[in-house]
Chain A
């Protein structure tokens, strides 16, 4: 097998929190020992409930946050300990698309300046080339080249997201973290943006880490899906497999929450309702993080953390 574009081993990210300047200290395990690989041209979907560490994982891989433990490999090179300066050549390979198309574009910059900024930072081409390149990128993402002098506030949410995509593409990366790129958009626009992302992937052989809430959309775009719970991967495998035959109890719970577009079938489908409370990420329970809510939990689950095990082409973190 060829070297994956991104390989992450036992990544951990903790946040130290404090209530007030003299308050109690606490540690949030936002990402807790995650290992994954993303191959060339592959999309890994990442799902999980709010606050389970999906975005933190994405940002830690891009070194927006310094990881507390574990290793990150990009094209086989260990970039874990690299400083911001050392990261520069690698930043060209890894880019990010953001959730909020309103907050992710500097409102004082014109579209041209926004998209040309990465090129300016790396001084990769002359000003004329920059303009040409920006116009070409605008065309790629379905905007008009003469939008170059406009400001972000003149665009709609979907158009702004296209600008964000154009900026991410400006450095011709190999890997893009899509941090819920569609959850702030209307449904009709979501389809357009996903279509755009797929088209660009085919053209440039990009790899995506696609973070989202919308399970049907994730299934549609991803080759493989990873399910996260409380900072850890509980199941990872081919998209259709994970969606049709979820193995981990938490994945089953998630999949049963997907709305079915057919009311007759929807009535027949049984919804698994979670029991108990979501544990606080500050003091994780010992054992499997899902055990307090899991209907099948045994004594073993409450004592030890189940490791990811290989089962029929995918990995599941469950003793059962």
Chain B
């Protein structure tokens, strides 16, 4: 048996006054990735999205046809070696058009979300941080913008600027940033009362530094989740607009336009409709799975101690 004094050994002199941590250091990003990669659906979504983005980027290299090249001799064909997804009623290769359509749809989704992100975070951050009367006025403006249905803005914009990618993007952004602004504002409002914000003030940080380095950096989680949900929403809105015929017009094509083109012959050639719709589904599902995975991964309560 051990004697009491043998249970313990004296610390080496240099460690006497210190405490130490045994666990390996894990950065924030590392923690999030560990948790994210445990979610199989989210990982699948990420892989699918990566593949789709890649094919959309290198699209023209994968197909011998231009996106608006018509071939009167090969109309409404089924799938074959020459035309992977068949051709439409004007003899255009559907595979090529889906590639280009995905490109347009993704571009609309990402670009409008990026714009929403910048405007929403700045607006919400400033409103939440300054507070008081400024906040009141800024948020009432937001309420007014939010009160008018998005579809009205979009249709009006289409009338003024014509049906093109940019007016669709503008239409999505005109009230898309409102959600982001609200989320960021409420986060900033609760964060600025925390002691670390007071601490930053006491060490002499100026307002800009407190807002960007201390408050907005800590909103990162909810902001990322909102962004991943905004992208599919934007893609869906664009597809919807194109489908009802006020979005992107020929010869440019988005996935929604392709579905709209196929609508007329849906009873005879249903496959022409299936391809673009399938693509929309995959993109939106992937993004939603990613969002869900990120939401659990970024939740501070779920983080390991």
Contact = CB atoms under 8 A, between A and B. Distances in A.
Bind each other: yes
B27 to A, nearest CB: 7
Given A95-B202, A106-B196, A144 B20 contact: yes
Interface stretch (B213-221, B235-243, B251-259, B282-290): B213-221
Contacts of B23: 154
Contact of B21 (A103, A154, A158): A154
Interface in A59-90: 59, 62, 64, 84-85, 87-88
Interface string B278-305: 0000000000000000000000100101
A98 B220 contact: no
B218 to A, nearest CB: 6
Contact of A106 (B19, B204, B206, B218): B218
Interface string A98-120: 11100111111000000001100
A265 to B, nearest CB: 34
A118 to B, nearest CB: 4
Given A88-B204, A108-B28, A150-B25, A100 B18 contact: no
Contacts of B214: 106
A171 interface: yes
B203 interface: yes
Contacts of B209: 121
A100 B195 contact: yes
A204 interface: no
A151 B200 contact: no
B19 A142 contact: yes
A82 B195 CA distance: 22
A170 B17 CA distance: 20
Contacts of A149: 25
Contacts of A107: 196, 218, 300
A151 B218 CA distance: 14
Interface bin, chain B: 20 to 34
A23 to B, nearest CB: 15
A200 interface: no
B201 interface: yes
Interface residues of A, number: 42
Contact of B203 (A99, A108, A118, A143): A118
B17 A91 contact: no
Interface string B4-33: 000000000000011111010111100000
Contacts of B305: 153
A270 B58 CA distance: 86
A140 B215 CA distance: 29
Given A95-B203, A117-B203, A64 B198 contact: yes
Given A106-B196, A167-B203, A151 B19 contact: no
A197 to B, nearest CB: 15
Nearest to B304: A153
B218 A144 contact: no
A95 B200 CA distance: 11
Nearest to A89: B204
A108 B220 contact: yes
A103 B190 CA distance: 12
Given A121-B204, A121-B209, A96 B25 contact: no
A149 B25 CA distance: 8
A98 B198 contact: yes
B134 interface: no
Contacts of A87: 204
A15 interface: no
Residue from B25, B26, B206, B214 whose CB has the most chain A CB atoms within 10 Å: B25
Residue from B20, B21, B202, B214 whose CB has the most chain A CB atoms within 10 Å: B202
A59 B18 contact: no
B79 interface: no
Residue from A100, A154, A155, A167 whose CB has the most chain B CB atoms within 10 Å: A154
A171 B196 contact: no
B274 interface: no
Contacts of A167: 199, 203
B195 A91 contact: no
A106 B191 CA distance: 10
B19 A103 contact: no
B74 interface: no
Given A105-B196, A121-B209, A64 B202 contact: yes
A98 B28 CA distance: 24
A117 B202 contact: no
7 contacts: A98-B199, A104-B196, A106-B200, A107-B218, A142-B18, A142-B19, A151-B28
Interface of A: 59, 62, 64, 84-85, 87-88, 91-92, 94-96, 98-100, 103-108, 117-118, 121-122, 142-144, 147, 149-151, 153-156, 158-159, 164, 167, 170-171
Kindly list the 4 A-B residue pairs having the minimum CB-CB distance in the complex, ordered from nearest: A104-B195, A91-B204, A118-B203, A103-B195
Given A96-B199, A151-B27, A153-B305, 9 more contacts: A59-B198, A98-B199, A105-B199, A106-B200, A106-B218, A117-B203, A121-B205, A142-B19, A154-B25
